[in-house]
Amino acid sequence: MPLAGLDGALFAAAIWGLAAAALFPAIPLPSRFAFLSAASRAAIARPVAIAGALALAAVGALGLAGVVPAPLRWWPGLPGDPFMLGVDALAAPFLLLLGLLTAISLAARHPGPEEGPAGLVLHIGFAVALAAVFAAQHALLLLVAWEGMTLLSAALVARDTRSARARRAAYVYLVISHIGAAAIGFGLMRLAALAGSFGFPDLAAALGRLPAGESAALVSLMSAGFAVKLGLAPLHVWLPLAHPEAPAPVSALLSGAMVKAGLYGLLRFGWQMPGSPPAGWGVTLAVIGLFTALVGALYAVVESDAKRLLAFSTVKNAGLLALALGIAATLLRAGYVPLAGVALAACLYHAVGHGLAKGLAFLAVGEAVHAAGSRDLEKLGGLARRMPRLSVAALIASLSLSGLPPLACFAGEWLLFQALILGLAAGGGSMRLLAPFSGAGLALATALSAAALVKLYGIAFLGRPRSAAAANAKPPPRAMEVWLLVLAGLGLAWGLAAPLAIAALALPISAVLGPGFDAASLSGFGGLTLSIPPEAFASISPLAVATLIALFVGLVFAWVALRGLHPGVRRAPSWACGVSLDARMQYSALGFTKPLRLIFRPLIRAESEISILEEGSPYFAQKYRYRSAVPPLAESLVFSPMVQAVFWISTQARRLQAGSLHVYLAYLLVTLVALLMLAR
Amino acid sequence: MSLALALLQAALLVALAPLFSGTIAAIKARLQMRRGAPVWQRYADLARLFRKESILSTDASWLARATPYVVLGASLTVATWVPVLFASSATSFAGDLVMTVALLALVRVLHALAALEAGTTFGGMAASRHMALAALAEPALMLSVFTLAIAAGSTDLARISRAVAAAPHGWLSPSHLLALSAMWLVVISESGRVPVDNPATHLELTMIHEGMVLDYSGRHLALLEWAATVRQMVLFTLVVNLFLPWGIALEPSGAALGTALLAWIGKLLACAIVVALGESLTAKLRLFRVPEFLGMAFLLSLLALTSNSLLRG
């Protein structure tokens, strides 16, 4: 075919281009290149990296079309197989998403004058590590890339080293990530030892030779490790700490792409293995996913920090992905292959759709809060009038993340609802309990996210500015706004062309699910409608809905304009019952979610307290103080006991260290005797 | 033919929506021994608003101008595939029951955002309550959707209508009646009626819908109010034609459509009487008692779904 060779060259260009761009500003150059200042080297590296990222996206798109480039190999000097990077059907959608997000996050980056090349180097390096995670076809390389991804992103989280909050976030992130990485590393190394090779097919074969119990235990262990990266509750605590601390373009990559590495791992090592997914894997994942979705949505609602709110929304969507995956595995084990395909299509479609929407949200909101000087919603407001183009991008992101049609996150939820209804109708054991609660819980989580995002957009972008900095916020450079609108357009296209997008995911879906289901059958009328195959159980068409809405808007607009009675709009100050309006009369972010905070108080244990500082007359005190807090329950209920247990064990262990030479000599003697007895 | 019918049904919904709203108000007035406004009062209100100047807050952004049009556009889009007279629509390929629920959520989100535009307290209060109560209504609504979809074997609106109409005593099953009661409570809440919201009040402590449109005037307000009546009409039509599709036309013959028109008007009149009676006999609930009301809807819908799977064996 004419493309032969080109795809391989594109893939090599993508990987080497990105890697070279990451290294170029960082490596010391010989003195005759001294004319290349750090700034000019960064100025060269950025376009190269953008080109590499776009090539990566192209490789991903080709991979979805079934074009598999020749893998890149090199021998690192270790025993065993050479390192291998390649693109297969499962990696393709993740590489497509990563390429697009990397290109736009790099293009939309506009560092302050004081920033050295380190930020750019880490940013590109992080993207390289992520690309290597998705493209690795060698267990050791996967672990190295995984570790690189964690370390580089932790460095980006802790970029602002003066901030104690950022340092703590990076610390918690590193510790929890390494617990996950240990589980993954143990599983992969155990398999590699059994297989005598690091290649993925050999690992799968080795797993297939293990007794069922041990293979299930290994798969579950690795799945737990990947679940940490996906941010499933209660191991999600690092996510809302770490994601908001990084600069906005990096947060976009963290939430948009890195979280999906957990999903990728679950698909590849939890499911796509012989005998997998093990019994109970699907149900467990679905239950944890549902719980995570509710936790994420609920905490997003009560959060007043714009970027943390988005991070909690990522937790909600990670839960949704795990729920879809768990439902798919449950349906597969019950023997409903096409229904499992529908749920899996929901999962993969939503992974990309959420990646695009959340990347856009972090870029747009991050830029807005940067311009307004605070991430605290209580200090924002009125930004839409000050930066109208940016507000369009932020609105599209907020509406998408609320799961509204016809945008990027709707069709995935629709498919999942269909899979739940059909799974329940088909009967079948665990679905009878799982489906109703998943349906109701998903509806609640989606409605709560909508409330959270209305709060985010409504409080930050609408109304009056709540601080002088917000009132004086200046729009970002035009080029950046254009890039954000490009990303918004990609997200819109993903939503409107949902049937085509799902048909394009047919290869990865059958790579995971095996034969018996073709995702292209979900798309009807040349990609206009999305329908469930057995005699069209139901069908939707995001494109037709958008067209109808646009048509009716046009008709109503024309009708109003033609009647011409009062076409104009007069502007007047808002009516505030006769007094002059003050920004503090508006609902605050805290006030906005007070009903939900009160309704869910038994679950989230929100605290609030009013104290009177200065007494006036009995009914009108002069000064109040109001304090409100939502305690991080996952930390106090799950992690504090664990930390305390570690401290307790170490305190006990300290007794061994008596500080006396005789005791240490005795230890040596006992150890020696024990070893001699064991070795015989 | 089928497209013409879809447009006719949508036109009927849109044209008669203010009448339905006015009828409820008129019946309510009679029950309260008042003469009340005539049933076509809503048309006069809309006509007057369309003639008036539209004033927007100096703090409002571009979204405040776009919202009335998009809200009405989305409501009209839903109206094209709701089975009014004929259980089939040319646009039913575009939207099913889940899409309907989601488009109503889109309308809700836009409403809430527009309410925050003017930077006043009332808008924020109403938007906050609206989003909170909707979050609680959504699970009950979704479980009712599940019950209907499983019984009918589809989430397509026309198919549900046909399936229920085809089974002569199908609507008498416990799961169907339980889902109907759950759906009724959700519709009462979603269309902003007593005991969740009071459409007749401007008292700031109680209002939800009125608070959200408080800063709109002129044609923008007219569009929003019209869209609200259309939405109310769509919700009640869904209740009567999905749960109790008596008389709905199964093929597009003149006689069948005529019967369907009479049946539809009769059923909606019955709904209007029940709503008016309910509004006259009950008081509005305190805001923090509404979660119990919606919790009841959730429980009913869960019972509906459970009895469905139990009785099917």
Q: Report if residue A130 sits inside a domain.
A: no
Residue B179 to residue B172: CA distance in whole angstroms = 11
* A597, two tokens: 């905070």
Q: Report if residue A108 sits inside a domain.
A: no
Question: Of the candidates A529, A558, A587, which is a domain's last residue?
Answer: A558
pLDDT tens column, A297-351: 999 999 999 999 999 999 999 999 999 999 999 999 888 899 999 999 999 999 9
Rg of chain A over Cα atoms, rounded to whole angstroms, equals 27
pLDDT tens column, A69-120: 888 888 777 777 788 999 999 999 999 999 999 999 999 887 655 566 788 8
Contacts of B118 in chain A (CB under 8 A): 463, 574
Question: Which whole number is the average pLDDT over A226-248?
Answer: 92
- Write down the pLDDT at residue A203: 92
Report the b/e string of B235-244 with b at 16+ CB within 10 A: bbbbbbbbbb
- Long-range residue pairs from B107-110, CB within 8 A, at least 24 positions apart, any chain: B107/B71, B107/B74, B107/B75, B107/B227, B107/B231, B108/A450, B108/B134, B109/A399, B109/A402, B109/A404, B109/A450, B109/A453, B109/A454, B110/B63, B110/B67, B110/B70, B110/B71, B110/B74
Which sequence spans correspond to the domains of chain B? 2-312
- Write down the pLDDT at residue A322: 97
Asked if B64 contacts B116 with a C-beta cutoff of 8 angstroms, the reply is no
Q: Considering CB atoms only, which of A399, A549, A574 is closest to B57?
A: A574
- Length of chain A equals 680
Contacts of B93 in chain A (CB under 8 A): 525, 528-529, 531, 539, 541, 544
Residues A431 and A541 in one domain: yes
Residues A532 and A641 in one domain: no
Residues A645 and A544 in one domain: no
Asked if A94 contacts A56 with a C-beta cutoff of 8 angstroms, the reply is no
- Write down the pLDDT at residue A386: 93
Query: Judging by DSSP bridges, how do beta strands A523-524 and A83-85 pair with one another?
Result: unpaired
Question: Which whole number is the average pLDDT over A538-561?
Answer: 92
**A538–B96 C-beta distance less than 8 A:** yes
| Residue of A298, A327, A404 best to disrupt the B interface, most CBs of B under 10 A | A404
Distances (CA, A) of A359 to A53, A311, A347, A430, B234: 15, 11, 18, 35, 36
Residues paired with A523 in a beta bridge = A530
Residue B59 to residue B62: CA distance in whole angstroms = 10
Residue A430 to residue A477: CA distance in whole angstroms = 54
* A495, two tokens: 């939503």
Residues with Cβ within 8 Å of B170's Cβ and at least 6 positions away in sequence, in order, are B151, B163, B164, B176
Residues with Cβ within 8 Å of A157's Cβ and at least 6 positions away in sequence, in order, are A166, A169, A170, A173, A242, A245, A246
Residues A514 and A660 in one domain: no
Residue A530: φ, ψ to 5°: -110, 120
* Residue A336 structural domain: 279-375+382-558
Residue A309 to residue A548: CA distance in whole angstroms = 33
Residues A551 and A663 in one domain: no
Residues A540 and A667 in one domain: no
ipTM of this predicted structure: 0.95
pLDDT band at A60 (very low <50, low <70, confident <90, very high): very high
Residues A394 and A543 in one domain: yes
- Which H or E run contains A84? strand A83-85
The answer to whether residue B70 scores a pLDDT higher than 60 is yes
Query: Residue A178 burial by CB count (10 A; 0-12/13-18/19+): exposed, middle or buried?
Result: middle
- Residue in A486, A471, A525, A481 with CA at minimum distance from that of residue A503: A525
- Write down the pLDDT at residue A161: 77
To the nearest whole angstrom, how far is the Cα of B296 from the nearest Cα of chain A? Answer: 14
pLDDT tens column, B136-165: 999 999 999 999 998 888 899 988 998 888
Contacts of B50 in chain A (CB under 8 A): 560, 563, 565-566
- Write down the pLDDT at residue A4: 63
Query: Three-class SS of residue A658?
Result: coil
Predicted TM-score (pTM) of this structure: 0.94
Residue A164: φ, ψ to 5°: -65, -35
Contacts of B141 in chain A (CB under 8 A): 443
pLDDT tens column, A378-428: 999 999 999 999 999 999 999 999 999 999 999 999 999 999 999 888 876
Nearest CA in chain A to B70: A553
Question: Of the candidates A558, A591, A624, which is a domain's last residue?
Answer: A558
Q: Report if residue A299 sits inside a domain.
A: yes
- Write down the pLDDT at residue A284: 95
Residue B80 to residue B103: CA distance in whole angstroms = 13
- Write down the pLDDT at residue B13: 93
Question: Quick check: A570 contacting B, CB < 8 Å?
Answer: yes
Q: Report if residue A477 sits inside a domain.
A: yes
Report the b/e string of B108-126 with b at 16+ CB within 10 A: bbbbbbbbbbbbbbbbbbb
Question: Which whole number is the average pLDDT over A15-33?
Answer: 86
- Residue in A409, A210, A380 with CA at minimum distance from that of residue A313: A409
The answer to whether residue A275 scores a pLDDT higher than 80 is no
What part of A 47-86 touches B (C-beta under 8 Å)? none
Query: Residue A307 burial by CB count (10 A; 0-12/13-18/19+): exposed, middle or buried?
Result: buried
| Residue of B56, B82, B131, B225 best to disrupt the A interface, most CBs of A under 10 A | B131
Q: Report if residue A22 sits inside a domain.
A: no
* A333, two tokens: 């084990």
- Which H or E run contains A83? strand A83-85
pLDDT band at B55 (very low <50, low <70, confident <90, very high): very high
Q: Total domain count for chain A?
A: 2
pLDDT tens column, A600-618: 988 888 888 888 888 777 7
Choice among A172-176, A467-471, A661-665 with the minimum mean pLDDT: A661-665
Q: Report if residue A533 sits inside a domain.
A: yes
Nearest CA in chain A to B108: A450
| Residue of A553, A562, A570, A601 best to disrupt the B interface, most CBs of B under 10 A | A553
- Write down the pLDDT at residue A31: 78
CB-CB neighbours of A563 under 10 Å: 12
Contacts of A410 in chain B (CB under 8 A): 102
Choice among A123-127, A309-313, B192-196 with the minimum mean pLDDT: B192-196
Rg of chain B over Cα atoms, rounded to whole angstroms, equals 19
Q: Report if residue A574 sits inside a domain.
A: no
| Residue of A294, A462, A571, A579 best to disrupt the B interface, most CBs of B under 10 A | A462
pLDDT tens column, A563-576: 766 667 899 988 88
The DSSP line for A542-611 is HHHHHHHHHHHHHHHHHHHHHH-SS--EEEEPPP-TTSPP-GGGSPPHHHHTHHHHHHTHHHH--EEEEE
**B58–A436 C-beta distance less than 8 A:** no
- Write down the pLDDT at residue A1: 45
Residues A551 and A643 in one domain: no
Q: Report if residue A437 sits inside a domain.
A: yes
Choice among A110-114, A237-241, B47-51 with the minimum mean pLDDT: A110-114
- Write down the pLDDT at residue A230: 95
pLDDT band at A212 (very low <50, low <70, confident <90, very high): confident
- Write down the pLDDT at residue A378: 93
Q: Considering CB atoms only, which of A402, A464, A566 is closest to B53?
A: A566
Question: Which whole number is the average pLDDT over B51-61?
Answer: 91
The answer to whether residue B30 scores a pLDDT higher than 70 is yes
**A550–B215 C-beta distance less than 8 A:** no
Residues A296 and A414 in one domain: yes
**A464–B59 C-beta distance less than 8 A:** yes
**A599–B128 C-beta distance less than 8 A:** no
